[in-house]
Amino acid sequence: MLALHQEILPPSGVEFATTLKLTPSTLPESPTSPSSPSQNHPPRGSPYNLVVARANVLRVFEIKEDPAPISPHLEDERQRRADVRMGTEAVEGEVEMDGQGEGFVNMGSVKFTGPRGPTEPPTIARFHFVREYRLHGTVTGLESIRIMSSYEDRLDRLLVSFKDAKIALLEWSAAVHDLITVSIHTYERAPQLLSLDAALFRSELRTDPASRCAALSLPKDALAILPFYQSQADLDVMEQDYRARDVPYSPSFVLDLASSVDEHVRNVIDFVFLPGFNNPTVAVMFQPQQTWTGRLKEFKDTVSLYIFALDLVSRTYPVITKLDGLPYDCLSLIPCPSALGGVVILTSNAVIHVDQATRRVALPVNGWQPRVSDMPTLPTPVGMHDLHLEGARMAFVEDRTLFVVLLDGTIVPFEFIVDGKVVSRLVMGKALAQTTPPTVVRKVPGEHLFVGSMVGPSVLLRTASVEEPVTDAEDMAASGPTAVVDAGNSMDLDDDDDIYGTSSPDPLPSTSAAPSAKTRSVIHLSLCDSLPAYGPISDLTFALAKNGDRFVPELVTATGSGSLGGFTLFQRDLPTRTMRKLHAIGGARGVWSLSVRTAVKVNGVPYDRPANPYHAENDSLILGTDAIPSPGFSRFGTRTPKGDITITTRVQGVTVGASSFFQGTAILHVLSNAIRVLEPDGTERQIIKDMEGNNQRPKIKYCSICDPFVFILREDDTIGLFIGEPERGKIRRKDMSPMGEKTSRYIAGSFFNDTTGMFKTRANENATTSNGDAQPTTSTLQAAMTAGQKTQWLMLCRPQGVVEIWTLPKLTLAFSTTAIASLQTVLVDSFDPPALSLPQDPSRKPQDLDIEQILISPIGETEPWPYLLVFLRCGQLAIYQALPAEPSSEPIPPSRTNTLAVKFTKMLSSAFELQHPEEQETSALAEHRRISRQLIPFTTSPTPDKTLSGVFLTGENPSWIVQTDKSCVKAIPSGHAVVHAFTATSLWGWKGDFLLYSDEGPTLLEWMPDVNLDMGMPSRHIRQGRPYTSVVFEPTSGLLVAASLTQAQFSSFDEEGNEMWAPDASNVSYPISECSALELFSPDFVAIDGYEFASNEFVNSLACVSLETLSTESGHKDFIAVGTTINRGEDLAVKGATYVFEIVEVVPEPASDMKRSFKLRLRCRDEAKGPVTAVCGIDGYLVSSMGQKIFVRAFDLDERLVGVAFLDVGVYVTTLRALKNLLIIGDAVKSVWFVAFQEDPYKLVVLAKDPHKVCVTAADFFFADEQLSIVTCDEEGAIRMYKYDSESPESNNGQTLLCRTEFHGQSDYRSSVTIARRMKGEDMVAPQAKLICGHPDGSLTALVPVDEATFKRLHLLQGQLTRNVQHTAGLNPRALRIVRNDSVSKPLSHGVLDGRLLTSFENLPLTRQSEITRQIGTERTTVLHDLNELGGSW
């Protein structure tokens, strides 16, 4: 069989992180960027980039200061002031005006001013997304580095290490707004990588603090050293070859520590570079004699620490410091700041400081340290708790303050007490707070600390140092570390929402402390922001979710770890629920929701106060239009007190567009043959019929309205432009002579407002008619009033593919490009004069690559940013981000008076399948059925504290185009078959409502609450406070059953029941064992019943099986089967048990409001001599494993299990899968077995098995088109497809499964689900199988069957993309997917396509797509059709 491996969701969480100045926006004088403050909010503090990675995903963020959230009290005050009658409200800034002797003092708005003027507004550090990359490799390290060119552009470079011993040097390119690869260094052919255990090695990447070199750890105690030039002197000394002067590094080399540094260096645990040395200096911690807990009497304190220098010129490595006798359980080390010196070692039971003179200061954190080590330590602190440092991470927040983040997220401060220049003792403070379980902890410049996690959200903490007065100097000296949690911050240990709490703004500097008072530095800890993540996927299943009244499939995954455990729910489409049907308004051809009000006139002149940014009026009018009955019909409606719609005005004709006008005091109504200005009540104020003399012009097919401008596009591709006159309250035609001939043709156009201040023009000094003004001028009173707030622009697209941007109100060409016709990656001004687009004879017919819709609209969350959206007639959607452009080195031709200092970078490209009916149909019915594809901007507030701006795409592929602060822009399907019209509305008093006309008619809907759009799919997290290992859906009751996992103290007892060991001190604890409980959940994830297992028993396998029973008419019934392990300690073999539960309906409790209630009833418990590691059902029987045997049992009388067949199998069964009477057995050592079950007589027959030794973590049936394969995955992530062919000579008479394909999936999976895949428009006897897999890194992948013809095309395309496309970090996609197999002559990677590589085809420019497909003998449309057919989540 042939298949496609596609990635549905990327890995979740953060495994590696680094902070650096990567992008130009982090420089102090950088221009405005999407992640830099707007003009209204000047920056406070210098922003930094944060680069995070997990598995194959690399993401770049910017950490910058945003205005702090407004408190509810201030919000209420602003709302109250917004409701004050116009003309009586307070004017902001009156206090400052009076200070200059002008204006009036408003005592209600007096602001606090310090001695140096007004206090800065409070700010808070936030994450802002920049770019995301899907790499063809597994990241193992991230570091920042500075090279010689860094001193010119003041930007850092990024070093990324990969699993196959590679280091990539990346830098940011402002020209393409992207990371580019400078170099890649590979060591995969080094002798150390040829060892048998090299695959189990985990490499570490470290850089010298002075950026003189980088080091990558290799197997067999070696380091790969990559030196970097830091000055011209380095270049002259280190490199004699002139050809190497173009690169920022000198040749790298491999340093064997045992042979080059010291022969005792073996079994390296960790290494770091130390700051403050003239030469790069390395501290390496290693264990020459390995030991473990059971051999402490023979070998104890076996770890050593050596510090040696790297002389990169002479290649000598003198050892500076040698220290032996460190505890055997040393885990990691970090360098101390230069002011403190030395290193800090973290062990399981202590924190140790070692300086350059080998002085050791150790502080135990529990009672185990003196029992496992003879190293002298400080006295045990009084009242010390039993802390466990396994899995902890640490970082210095100040020179003498160390934060240790424990495995459960608890933050413990340590302070270094210095006597002169020597550390005399360590002091441990009380636990400050509980945050996320750490994987990486990084100090962020600017008093911040980043805690990255693989099992949950990653957080940004503020660690501000504040001087506070103290009264007793002795207390100050005797107390612990001075660190506190800011008041009001929700980071308490007992708070369930500790990492999700409200953020605290920066505290204002205090000026009240007396100068003579003694002070001490106190670190204030507060939560700033978080990166959402759900962690590893333990199990998954499909369930039915109810969005309003509609049932949709929902993927339920058991995710997280520890207190962050719970469920994450994924839906393919953005979940919405219908509020009401609105058939009265119609709207099959369009619907608009408008906010209009009565104008206020002063001396007969309309006057309007500036818009209040904190208060926006709700909509008051809805307009819907239909094409039937001919010639069309439009209805104006308002909301009744009961919430229904009442029609106030009916107008003949199809509405093309409508909007509020003249600052919301009128309605601009565009019909297919006229433009009307209406009063707020719908009466007509002015009408301009679209006539040319006495002749009727062609119908208007599109319009764009941007107060005070109106743009219309007719069916003959001519345009019209109108401008409003607020003084008269009417509109007039605008002169378009600067744009060329009156008969010029255009295929698309629109207006847009720029509120960011980024769209600015640069005047051309060489222009023949330059007016010397680089900014658009204003002509109307209202435009003059709002000139400082926004600028308006007109964008037009000519038939030949030229897109132009014109200034308003004076029409001047500011931007022109032809690159958009082929969707190039970057669009810049070509400096061309206005293009010619005269009418053709015969008339030009529409082309597939014509631009159908073009729009610039803000998209984003806290600071929406302009995006250019282009929709082609063939269904290709491209989204570009607008960015500031650097001045061009090319001179601007004299024909252009100015140029727009903006460029557009492509962020997303997607192809949709469209329906193109016959263009000749012109009947009213055909017009009614015509699918309208439009890009409609919207702004919504799904929650009161969150506002999103986006764009909705109507048509047969309706999609929400949105972006959050922490994710890239994405197009999410709406779930409707077709949407003809769309608008956001607040007519019902809620700014989260939408009105759309779909295949279900006109409906009012809203987003489902608590939907997270930061992931690759809409998701919802149900936090339960404990992890779940298994989850199944019981179809009969529609409920979920899950097995939770908790920690319990373990104790051993002898035969007489006496406890064999008990803790003899308060800081010594019992060992911890895992225990499970079975929980029954309602559809809204409320636990309604459960079953607790013994404190030493945990669940291995959970399945819903159909067993034979006499209690139903069908003879079968669904039961819940559970396999467990009973842990009895080290000295006794484990046991297990098999449980059978039934979900029964019971009478609900009188106090509850539930209509139906269910309980878990234990039907049978069968104890086994070994662990029951897997269970499944086959033909009404229960199949379970026990140790090295497989049992098939019948459920006799619904109360006991009776064995009917068994089979001796491998060592440890990991997977059981059944299909009809066929069974797959996956083993941890002996790979996979293919077995058949027969009932007469009862027997398990081995059909075939894999003779090789492979650790199978999961195995599944995979079938399509009457073909069957067995798919397995091993612990290295290698996916194998086996075929059973008894007629093949290679199968040894059918006894051997034939491995046809090996494909490296990068990470293993232990949970999978098979769903049916049905092809559109094809009658299939049986659906194909689509395999969805959940991975421990949080990723979600799918395996999809592919027919042979499609596979050949895509396989050729895959080869072209591998060779001819630049891949991030210079990685090789083909080498990534190859699985090492010494038993075959060449890799077996032919049968599976790489979906991640194929998706890059959509992002290529159209010309590049056509060129690549032409080389493989096919067309780009055929390839895009294939990818659309195979794509989709499920």
Say what the pTM is. 0.90
3-class SS of residue 852 = strand
Q: DSSP states of 208-227 as a string?
A: -TTSSEEEEEETTTEEEEEE
Q: What integer pLDDT is reported at residue 600 of this predicted model?
A: 61
Q: What integer pLDDT is reported at residue 513 of this predicted model?
A: 40
Contact between residue 346 and residue 275 where contact means Cβ atoms under 8 Å apart: no
Q: What integer pLDDT is reported at residue 206 of this predicted model?
A: 96
Contact between residue 584 and residue 962 where contact means Cβ atoms under 8 Å apart: no
Q: Is the pLDDT of residue 67 over 70?
A: yes
Per-residue pLDDT band at 41 (split at 50, 70, 90): very low
Q: Over the stretch 1171-1201, which tens digit does the pLDDT of each residue have? A: 999 999 999 999 999 988 999 999 988 889 9
Contact between residue 322 and residue 304 where contact means Cβ atoms under 8 Å apart: yes
Q: Is the pLDDT of residue 606 over 70?
A: no
Per-residue pLDDT band at 116 (split at 50, 70, 90): very low
Per-residue pLDDT band at 368 (split at 50, 70, 90): confident
Q: Over the stretch 1399-1422, which tens digit does the pLDDT of each residue have? A: 999 999 999 999 999 999 999 999
Mean per-residue pLDDT, 1145-1158:
81
Q: What integer pLDDT is reported at residue 38 of this predicted model?
A: 43
| Residue in 468, 461, 467, 459 with CA at minimum distance from that of residue 446 | 461
Q: At what angle do helices 1420-1430 and 1406-1415 cross, to 10 degrees?
A: 100
Contact between residue 597 and residue 86 where contact means Cβ atoms under 8 Å apart: no
Find the radius of gyration of the CA atoms of the chain: 35
Q: What are phi and psi of 1376, to 5 degrees?
A: -65, -40
With b meaning 16 or more CB within 10 Å and e meaning fewer, what string describes 1149-1180? Answer: eeeeeeeeebebeebbebebebbbbbbbbbbb
Q: What integer pLDDT is reported at residue 605 of this predicted model?
A: 54
Which of 467-476, 800-809, 1114-1123 is the least confident region?
467-476
Per-residue pLDDT band at 80 (split at 50, 70, 90): low
| Residue in 142, 108, 137, 129 with CA at minimum distance from that of residue 16 | 142
Q: What are phi and psi of 1381, to 5 degrees?
A: -145, 110
Percent of the chain residues topping a pLDDT of 90: 60
Q: Is the pLDDT of residue 943 over 60?
A: yes
Q: What integer pLDDT is reported at residue 1265 of this predicted model?
A: 85
Q: Is the pLDDT of residue 117 over 60?
A: no
Which of 567-576, 898-907, 925-934, 1183-1192 is the least confident region?
925-934
Angle at CA of residue 1018, ends 1015 and 1024, nearest 5°: 85
Q: Is the pLDDT of residue 817 over 50?
A: yes
**Higher per-residue pLDDT: 87 or 374:** 374
Mean per-residue pLDDT, 808-831:
93
Which of 393-397, 472-476, 685-689, 1232-1236 is the least confident region?
472-476
Q: What integer pLDDT is reported at residue 119 of this predicted model?
A: 52
Contact between residue 214 and residue 167 where contact means Cβ atoms under 8 Å apart: yes
Q: Over the stretch 157-173, which tens digit does the pLDDT of each residue have? A: 999 999 989 999 999 99
Which of 361-370, 407-416, 777-786 is the least confident region?
777-786
Q: Over the stretch 1098-1148, which tens digit does the pLDDT of each residue have? A: 999 999 999 998 888 888 999 999 999 999 888 888 999 999 999 999 988
Which residue's structure tokens are 């690869």? 181
- What are 256's two structure tokens? 């064997």
What is the β-pairing status of strands 590-594 and 666-671? unpaired
The CB-side HSE value for 636 (13 A sphere, CA atoms) comes to 24
Per-residue pLDDT band at 925 (split at 50, 70, 90): low
- What are 651's two structure tokens? 């107008």
Mean per-residue pLDDT, 1032-1039:
94
Q: What integer pLDDT is reported at residue 81 of this predicted model?
A: 53
What is the β-pairing status of strands 1200-1208 and 576-581? unpaired
Amino acid 71 reads S
Q: Over the stretch 856-892, which tens digit does the pLDDT of each residue have? A: 999 999 899 999 999 999 999 999 999 999 887 788 8
| Other Cβ atoms within 10 Å of 1292 Cβ, number | 12
Which residue's structure tokens are 């402002």? 174
Q: What integer pLDDT is reported at residue 489 of this predicted model?
A: 53
Q: Over the stretch 1282-1332, which tens digit does the pLDDT of each residue have? A: 999 988 888 888 899 999 999 999 999 999 999 998 877 666 677 889 999
Omega of the bond leading into 631 within 30 degrees of 0 (cis): yes
Instruction: Strand 1072-1081: give its sheet, edge to edge.
Output: 1028-1034, 1039-1049, 1072-1081, 1087-1092
Q: Is the pLDDT of residue 648 over 50?
A: yes
Averaged pLDDT score across all residues of the chain? 86
Which residue's structure tokens are 């995954």? 557
Amino acid 721 reads L
Q: Over the stretch 527-584, which tens digit does the pLDDT of each residue have? A: 999 999 999 999 999 999 988 888 899 999 999 999 999 999 999 999 999 999 988 8
Which residue's structure tokens are 């000749």? 920
Cα dihedral across residues 738, 743, 747, 753: positive or negative: positive
Contact between residue 229 and residue 196 where contact means Cβ atoms under 8 Å apart: no
Q: What integer pLDDT is reported at residue 722 of this predicted model?
A: 94
Angle at CA of residue 721, ends 716 and 722, nearest 5°: 140
> Between the ranges 69-83, 115-129, 464-478, 826-840, where is the mean pLDDT highest?
826-840
Contact between residue 63 and residue 448 where contact means Cβ atoms under 8 Å apart: yes
